Amino acid sequence: MNPRDLYPKPELNGGDLRPPGLTTDMPDRPDHGEESYRGSGRLTGRKAVITGGDSGIGRAVAIAFAREGADVLISYLPEEESDAADTAQWIEKAGRKAVRVPGDIQDEAHCRSIIDTARSELGGVDILVNNAAYQMAQPGGITDITDEQFDRVMKTNLYAMFWLCRAAVPHMPPGSAILNTASIQAYLSSSALLDYATTKGGIVAFTKALAEDLAEKGIRVNAVAPGPIWTPLIPSTMPEKKVKSFGGDTPLGRAGQPAELAAAYVYFASQESSYTTGEVLGVTGGKPVS
């Protein structure tokens, strides 16, 4: 099938959302692979932690991991409980264990508790997906970014990734994998997302440096760089005009769906990528990531 026609083109209706936004409130709901993803046992027996696992890319990855045979812990904000419950049901329908851990990853102690819970409830952690992120578009540029917003973006997108990795690595056996969600914004940065783009560039650098650091331990570290992907984050944090045209400027002419990223995360988590570390895979609808 022509990839340009696989999913709807702009304009998509995201509804009147406020951060963090819920999937159930979106008139045009994203596809997370609920009805399409088919597993083949590539992650049988694995134990995965996914931040931001309640919705969007995180939900798609959680569904795929479970159908590939992994037990999954998802972390999310308390106000996203209804979305998290839906994701947990999909994990359990796949016959795998689902663990829900609400809380704010801006807090270092909570990041440690996520890893501690994975060890106690899943029996360990050998896949860590640092996916949760915060953004808030400011069309006026740097002068409209408050200290409070800048701090939240940095702590959610960068500090939490560092804290989670630092807590997890001592307990991850050889063969484990760390997957970070970067962004097209690391390469084609928007002035309206200056702080967010800064963190995504940092995630790319962090991925490469940590991959070198952990290679001797047999732990691989890679990143996926999504382009414009249709999730609750978009209508809840971007101006209405941008939402209406979202994804239309890609070579494929549309926004991507979370389901279209799941296979990339499965690849990096599985032994199929055993000779790949420190890499960034763009899933961008044709926008360059170099």
Catalytic residues: 196
Alpha-carbon distances, residue 15 vs 204, 233, 243 (angstroms): 32, 12, 10
Alpha-carbon distances, residue 127 vs 146, 164, 176, 195, 259 (angstroms): 35, 12, 6, 28, 19
Residues 271/272/277/282 CA torsion (nearest 10 deg): -140
Alpha-carbon distances, residue 163 vs 20, 111, 134, 169 (angstroms): 22, 6, 16, 10
Asked if 63 contacts 262 with a C-beta cutoff of 8 angstroms, the reply is: yes
Chain-centroid distance, C-alpha 1: 26
End-to-end CA distance of the chain: 28
